[in-house]
Amino acid sequence: MSLFEGVKGNHYEIRELCVEEAITRRLQALGLNDGTVVTILNRKKSGALIIRVRGTRLALGRHICQGIKVEERADEG
């Protein structure tokens, strides 16, 4: 499933980044790597998601969220 399909408050483990190479490199620099656990904090009407990754809050647009493949986690870690 993609991160965009995720539910607010749930935890997800990143499995694959399927976006343009430049965006992939930027996301990896921000700590969004395979195996990283993220939490969806909020969903904006515009389609953007606010997530928590490694203690930092990030806002990601719909296009990017749709390209991040994740797997649901029962807990944070």
Using CA of residue 70, residue 71, residue 74, residue 77, what is the dihedral sign?
negative
How far is CA 31 from each of CA 14, 25, 34, 53, rounded to the nearest angstrom?
Answer: 11, 10, 9, 7
| pLDDT of the residue at 74 | 80
Average pLDDT of the residues of the chain:
93
Q: Which helix (H) or strand (E) holds 58?
A: strand 56-60
pLDDT digits (tens, 9 = 90+) for 42-73: 999 888 999 999 999 999 999 999 999 999 99
The C-alpha atoms of residue 53 and residue 37 are separated, in whole angstroms, by: 7
Dihedral through CA 30, CA 27, CA 53, CA 3, nearest 10?
Answer: 170
pLDDT digits (tens, 9 = 90+) for 18-29: 999 999 999 999
